[in-house]
Structure formats: structure tokens, C-alpha cells
Amino acid sequence: MSAIVVLLQSLLICATSWFLWRFFRQIIVKSPLDNVPGPRPVSFWKGNLPEVYNQRGWRFYEKLADEYGSVVKLHGMFGHRMLHVHDPLALHSIIVKDQYVYEEAAWFVKSNELLLGNGLLSTMGDHHRKQRKLLNPVFSINHMRHMTPIFYNVTHRLESAIMSRVRDGPREVDILNWMGRTALELIGQGGLGYSFDPLVEDVPNALGDAIKAFMPTWGKLQIHRRLIPFIVQLGHPKFKRWVLDMIPDLRIQKMKYISDTIVQQSWQVFREKKAALEKGEEAVIHQIGEGKDLMSILMQANMNTNPGEKLPEEELVGQMSMLTLAAMDTTSSALSRTLHLLCQHPDVQDKLRAELMQARDGKDIPYDDLVHLPFLDAVCRETLRRYPPAAWIFRVATKDMIMPLSEPIRGVDGTMMHEIPVPKGTTIQVGIMGSNWNKAIWGEDAMEWKPERWLNPLPTAVDEARIPGVYSNLMTFLGGGRACIGFKFSQIEMKVVLSVLLTTFRFSLPKERIEWNMAGVAYPTTGDNPKACMLLTVEPLDNAQKTVVI
């Protein structure tokens, strides 16, 4: 007991000293960021973070762009000055040109490492580049083409599961739940060569259940997450583990249990795949995915690469955990949002259904035809532009920098600022929504959801802005060396699911209202129920396509 008391006293002294240093430093020391306009902080202790992380904070982000411009000063904890940036030239500096100066925030990287191991989201610098170099070929278009039949197989099971519930007539169905289950099974079979969920029946799965619980639990610990770097620097892993065990917070203990389950189950999946690969091709083709899944390809590539480029096994397992988490929630959110929008715009739903009906002609749409359907592509692009699933992306300047601007901003003192000195340690929120919603680039109708904008030439300002996003002039999947590596995978998932569901069912709004909430990944709620849920009314089409599997 005395050791615990001494440890707690030491932590209290360190925390108090750190707080006093941060407090007086922010008050006494002037910063070049003081001249950047921005909203007043909610409090010194939390700054603007309650607004940044507000579940219904959509208007706050609209206000940042409308009232303050392309670069906005925010306040973090204890008066820490932050920037919210959506100026195209500044974004190019942050995520492309100077990406190794503007690194991921330490709390983001260290918390990912603590919970999931050394995957893409928990490494930086040369370590991250080494992992990315091995992973990039795995997500090639050729591999996506080979995985399309896997996606259709999963989606037809989803189709059967929903049909069994609505065969006798229209019924409200929790589409978010089904999109989550489907997205997990898609990344399971296509990404890991592993089945989480047969969909046509309810079967418990420890790994699947833990992955589903990860984001909802982690979303409640955003402030705690910023203290993680102090825990990971405490020394030996067993000691760090002991410190976590002693924290009397049920949310943290639940998060720890979820993390342990994901890591343990991921190791089990990895060992099974490794054993199959070592036995040879005959064993591999009898596994789920038949060796065409991303993890089998990655493990095979790792076995064949130069010794100096090989990733250790714990890093391969880290990729499994992180890719599954990153793919599941973002895809299910994007699909749910798309179906909700199609309910709000039934004319668009009918137009899209007509295109898909013609393309299917009684069979699944082949990959090369699916990716070139113009209206399907327009609906997907516009949804990802107007409603990016993940909007909380941060970077930290690791040294003093000068941030260039494509257009000057007016400072608090009235002077025009053509560039902004950024002190070392400044946290920057990448303005994904601000860039996607920028009226100066996308036009006065930028806040409207209009798929048809993609069927005509985009405004010249879009090309001239040179937005550094990896996908379609959008910041939704970021850009540079830390762009979303799986954005092509996600696109095919969305298009396969929509092509099957919209030619089998009609979707309409439920009796109760649907509200979308900001989080690490946006999620909907229905009526007064605070839990993630999105009911839509679903009914079979009279002329539903009967697929001929080829």
C-alpha cells in the first residue's frame, strides 16, 4: 500500500508542476498565433475542445468557415493554442510537402500503440514509411478486382438476411446495425480471410464483438486520450499495465478489456494464417478468401521481401487490428449516410436504382463496369464530400514553421496575413469539412448534397485550388504519406453493397427522426434513443433482381 501512496504522490506532484508550467506559460508568453482570428474558448481548462468534440457540433464547424476563414485559432487544454486549417496551400504544406514536420499528435500515436500495437496508425517517420512501402502494393486495383466476388458473396448474405425480415411487407430495420455487421464481414473476408459473422444468423464472435465496441467506448475517452503519452513513458510494459489496472474508471477498464480481446484474437487469426501459408498453396485455397485476402497477400509479400525490409510478426498483427477497425466503422457510417440521404431524396434513389437495374441485368455487375457507373460514382463522391465519416484529424508541428496561404487572412489587429508563423508544438486540426465545404472552391451550393455536380465539369476553382487529397479533390481520405491506404477498398465495398440492396429493396424514412452525431467516426441515432441506431423503412421491390452467380 505504501508503494501505491508514494506513486500517487509522485504523479500528483508531476501533474501539478506540469499544470502550473502550462498555465503561466500560456498567460505570460506571447505567440504569433495570437493575431489569428477565432472563437473565444469555453474555459481555460478545456479551451474550445467541448465544441470541437461536441456530438452535435456540425454548426460549430460551419461557423468556423463562415465567420473566421480558412485558418482559425482554437484553444486546447490549459490555453494551448491550436489552429484549424482548410486553406489548400497550407494543407499541402501540412500533409504533403512538410508532412514529416507536421506529425501525428503524440496522444493519437501513443494511444493507438498502447491499445493495438505497432500498426500504421501508431508509427511515424522511417518506421511508418517502411510499413507503408510493404502495404501499398496490397491495395492495388488488381487486388481489388480479385476481391470483388468476395464482396458480392457477403452482400448477398446481407440481402437474404434483410429479405427474411421484410418479405411480408414494409418494416423498419436498423440499417446501421446491418451495415456495421456487413462492413466487418467484408473486411474480415476481404482483408483478413476470416469470417466474423454469417449475417443470416446471429453467432457470437469475441473478436467481432470487441471491434464493434471499440469506437463507442473510445469515443467517450477523448480527453483521457490526451494523457496517454504520460502513461506510455512510465517504463516497463508490466508497470504500465499495473498503472492502467489501478485507474478507478470503469470506461478505461472496459477499454482495456476490449483492447486485450482484439490483440489476443488477432494473434490467433495470424497464427492460423501463418500455419496455412507454411503448408503451401493447397492449404491456403481452403481458407476463407482462398489466399486473395489482403492479409494473406501481405504475409506472403513479407516472407519474400529482403530481410532488412521485413516486418516483425507483432507489426503484422498490429496491421490486422488497425485495418479492421479503420475499415469497419468508416464504411458502415458512409453506407448508412448514403442510404439515409437516398431516403431524403427519393428521386435520386429512383434514378440510381434505374442505372443499377440496367447494369445488373440479372447478374452481379463486374468490377470494371461497377467502377464506371456515372451516377453511382456521383452519389458516392457527393456523400463523401458533404459528409466525411471521420473529421477529427490532428497534426503537431515538431519545429517552428512558416505556413504559406493561398489567400491572405485578416488578423485580429486588422493587418493582412500572407503567411503564418507556427511555433513548435502547435496542434493543427486538419479542416476536412472546411475544405470539402469551401464555397470559394465548390460554389455557393457547397453545403447542399447534389450528386449531379459530379456529372458536369467541376468549377475551375476546384482544379486551381490543388487540394492535396488523395481522392477526387476531397480531403475525406487525406493525402500524402498518411492518406487512407484503404480508400479504394472502401469504394468497392460501398458500390457493391449499394448495387445489390437498391435493386432488391426500396428504402424510406422511418416514423422517428434521425440525427447524426460527430465522433471519431460519425454515427446516427433514431428518436430519443441515445444509442447508435438508424431505422429505415425497407420493402422488397416487385421487380427485384434475382442474381445469377457467375
HSE toward the beta carbon, residue 392, CA cutoff 13 A = 19
Q: Is the pLDDT of residue 290 over 80?
A: no
Q: For residue range 183-227, what is the model confidence (pLDDT) as tens digits?
A: 999 998 988 888 888 898 877 788 888 888 887 787 777 667 766
* Dihedral over Cα of 107, 110, 113, 115: its sign: negative
Report domain extents, the chain: 134-389+480-540
Of 435, 533, 443, the residue nearest 216 (C-alpha): 533
User: How crowded is residue 450: how many other Cβ atoms within 10 Å of its Cβ?
Assistant: 18
Alpha helices in 219-249 (DSSP H): 222-225, 228-232, 237-246
Q: Cite the annotated binding site by residue number.
A: 484
The rounded distance, in Å, linking the Cα atoms of 259 and 205 is: 15
Cell 430519443 -> residue:
528
The rounded distance, in Å, linking the Cα atoms of 37 and 307 is: 52
Of 516, 457, 502, 530, the residue nearest 56 (C-alpha): 516
pLDDT of residue 362: 86
CATH for 134-389+480-540 (3.40.980.10, 1.10.630.10, 3.40.640.10, 3.90.1640.30): 1.10.630.10
| Grid cell for residue 4 | 501505491
Q: What mean pLDDT, rounded, does the chain reach? A: 88
Q: Is the pLDDT of residue 259 over 90?
A: no
In terms of DSSP bridges, do strands 81-85 and 427-430 run parallel, antiparallel, or are they unpaired?
parallel
The rounded distance, in Å, linking the Cα atoms of 472 and 379 is: 13
Q: Is the pTM here over 0.85, yes or no?
A: yes
Helix, strand, or coil here: 428?
Answer: strand
CB 270 within 8 A of CB 316: yes
| Grid cell for residue 408 | 491572405
Q: Cite the annotated binding site for heme by residue number.
A: 484
pLDDT of residue 550: 34
pLDDT of residue 106: 81
pLDDT of residue 533: 93
Of 274, 498, 491, 252, the residue nearest 364 (C-alpha): 498
Of 110, 72, 57, 42, the residue nearest 428 (C-alpha): 72
Q: What is the DSSP code (8-state) at residue 67?
A: I
CA 456 to chain centre: 29
Cα angle 345, 346, 351 (rounded to 5 degrees) comes to 105
Torsional class of 199: left (φ above 0), alpha (ψ -120 to 50), beta (otherwise) = left
Average pLDDT over residues 515-539: 92
Lowest-confidence region among 79-83, 368-372, 541-545: 541-545
